[in-house]
Amino acid sequence: MKKQVKTPWPTQAVMQQVYEKHLWGGKGFDFYSGEGSHNPTITEPYLKAVLDFLKSENNKLTVCDLGCGDFNIGKHFVAFSKKYIAIDIVESLIKRNQALFKADNLEFHCLDISKDKLPKADCIILRQVLQHLSNTEIKCIVNKLSSYQYIILTEHLPIGDFVPNKDKIASQGIRLKQNSGVDLLAEPFVLKVKSTEILNEVVLDNNKGRIVTNLYEVF
């Protein structure tokens, strides 16, 4: 009997292509999650801000990283978490991460975060992930976020006034060219939170927008 080949999910196929064709750059790398994961101007202040938060919680938080990518960022947080669960939609990337990064409190899982059940945790990290997804996918994810105490959300946004949450298809691109960006507190998502704090903001050169990291405490 011929073995049935599993057809990739549409968004999974898109993200596989992004990595295979190096659409986020990184020629010479096996997997490369883009400048947002490798440019020190972006990564260093982000790492400091998130590490300061994790340390303030005395390493007691179970963290779930939704869209962990090549793990160039997440690898810094493992030692400061009670448990670190790293998730991505690209199976070959997860297998690569499992081979490269090992710790007693570290797990990797291949999941579609818009469709699959998410692990239990105290804190969600969503770093420049939602900006690549459609509003339908984002809504599905937002519906799951109320069970977590903290959400650390990073999004690439325009400078100045913009129209939030214009829709798009899942792709390597983001909403910036539409003068839009993801705002979970605005329509059509309207995430209910107890408090919000800007942990970090980096303004990019040449009018390329700003990368903003918010800490949300959920009811």
Separation CA 127–CA 141 (nearest Å): 14
Residues in the chain: 219
Topology of the domain covering 10-218: Rossmann fold (3.40.50)
Residues 159-178 pLDDT 10s: 999 999 999 999 999 999 99
Count CB neighbours of 204 within 10 A.
15
Say whether pLDDT at 37 is over 90.
yes
Residues 190-206 pLDDT 10s: 999 999 999 999 999 98
